[in-house]
Amino acid sequence: MRTGILFGLTLAFLFIHGAHSATITITNNCSYTIWPGDLTANQNPQLPNTGFELASLASTSLDIPNPWTGRFWARTGCSTDGSGKFTCATADYGSSQVSCNGKSAIPPTSLVEFDIALIDGQDFYDVSLVDGFNLPVSVTPQGGSGPCKSSSCPVDLNPTCPTDLQVKASDGSVIGCKTACIAFNQPQHCCTGNYSSPETCPPTSYSQFFKERCPQAYSNAYDDQPGLFTCSGGPDYKIVFCP
């Protein structure tokens, strides 16, 4: 009897205190291999799997603790050289390894960002182009309650990227699109110094390039909410690269 009560109390405690951990499933819908990576914010312990290879049409699932704040992205054009050094054409960590181990990607890189159960069990998530673009991506809650809308940048921005923002492969093809802040490092493009408020850092033709093509994604530090993406009740999430 006592055991039964204790067991019930334990279950209730686990239920209330977030024993639920979100499962995030990452699918590569691109025609080429990608190397997804993840970074846990605030130097919390990193996830067991911080970087991995994902063949075309393959999926991998990761268990995310609750609460959790962090981001996902994917590297492209990776290879291992004769000395065992692993490098990628876009979104490299500079770690020379498939695992990122707490390092963030070198822009330009499309991002999916999460605040899982940050406030009262409510999740926030978005697609961000604040670090530029390297490949299309979407994020979709599975289950949950509330708006729980899918967000994405489903368009390949590389072919139409403005010339002065382009990152090119050795064969001349465009493989990434920088933000104007990264390309020019000027306060009016980075919203710093005299430009560090929404009034003094309005959208530019460069930030509008991203905004017009991917309106659901953040494209500037003072981007108006492209729709607040939120979901409650402990949903799982699906991230698709090249949706």
Ligand X SMILES: *[C@@H]1O[C@H](CO)[C@@H](O)[C@H](O)[C@H]1NC(C)=O
Q: List the structure tokens of 81.
A: 């050289």
Q: Which is nearer to ligand X, 29 or 46 (CB)?
A: 29
Out of 3, 79, 194, 225, the residue judged to bind ligand X by CB under 6 A:
194
8 makes contact with ligand X (CB under 6 A): no
Neighbours of 196 (CB within 10 A): 13
Supply the minimum distance, in Å, between the C-beta of residue 188 and ligand X. 9
Q: Are 44 and 93 in contact (CB under 8 A)?
A: no
153 makes contact with ligand X (CB under 6 A): no
3-state secondary structure of 3: helix
CA 45/CA 146 separation, integer angstroms: 30
Q: Which is nearer to ligand X, 8 or 193 (CB)?
A: 193
Supply the minimum distance, in Å, between the C-beta of residue 139 and ligand X. 12
Terminal-residue alpha carbon distance, the chain: 53
CA distances to 32, 63, 125 from 115, rounded to whole Å, are: 29, 14, 6
Q: Which is nearer to ligand X, 39 or 157 (CB)?
A: 157
240 makes contact with ligand X (CB under 6 A): yes
Q: Which is nearer to ligand X, 193 or 215 (CB)?
A: 193
Out of 8, 146, 147, 193, the residue judged to bind ligand X by CB under 6 A:
193
x/- string (CB under 6 A) for ligand X, residues 16-55?
-------------x--------------------------
CA 228 to chain centroid, in Å, comes to 16
Positive or negative torsion for Cα 229, 235, 240, 243:
negative
Q: What is the contact surface with ligand X in residues (CB under 6 A)? A: 29, 193-194, 240, 243
